[in-house]
A = this chain, B = another copy of it.
Amino acid sequence: MRAARPRRADARRNEKTLLDAAAAIFVTSGVEAPVRDIAAEAGVGTATIYRHFPTRADLIIAVYRHQVEACAEAGPALLASSATPYAALRQWINLFVDFLVTKHGLAAVLQSDSAGFGNLHAYFLDRLLPVCTQLLDAAADSGEIRSGLDAYALLRGVGNLCIGADSDPRYDARRLVELLIAGLRRPR
């Protein structure tokens, strides 16, 4: 039997450095920043990044994983704690928007169909689509919203509304998403 790998503690610390560096660069240059810039920020060779994160999608996922998970987990909680399913949906979407709006370039990349971001796309869908579907279904069942809107389309629409949300003070993605969600409401 083999003892747990001793280097692991070190490597994990290093990985943390990498993620911090990537996060910092993502903020200033967007998630498509050159690998070299990230490596430089981390004080590390480029290959080190490739070792830890073979594709850019892997890196992006790792950087945002905690927040995506938190968002996913918030769905059922909100459903349980909110007055109505529609209120839960609305709040959950706001969480998603709060997340996206602060991630320079992420929303843009999320809708890019360029191969290589496939994993990223898949990850977000994998984690968030079921949650969104659940909330949407609940709100439809309660009769609060029109039915017939795909959770996929909604997520993507919300994501799109977040593109370029920073870097333009005249553009208020949160407000627009609010309107979109308001528009979902079944007219009386």
Contact = CB atoms under 8 A, between A and B. Distances in A.
Interface in A143-175: 149-150, 152-154, 156-157, 160-164, 167-168, 170-173, 175
7 nearest CB pairs, A to B = A183-B183, A179-B183, A182-B183, A157-B176, A111-B164, A160-B160, A180-B180
Interface residues of A, number: 34
A113 interface: yes
Given A160-B161, A164-B160, A153 B178 contact: no
Interface of A: 108, 111-113, 149-150, 152-154, 156-157, 160-164, 167-168, 170-173, 175-176, 178-185, 187-188
Q: How many copies of this chain are found per oligomer?
A: 4
13 contacts: A111-B164, A113-B167, A113-B168, A149-B175, A153-B172, A154-B176, A157-B171, A176-B180, A178-B183, A179-B180, A182-B183, A183-B183, A185-B187
Contacts of A108: 108
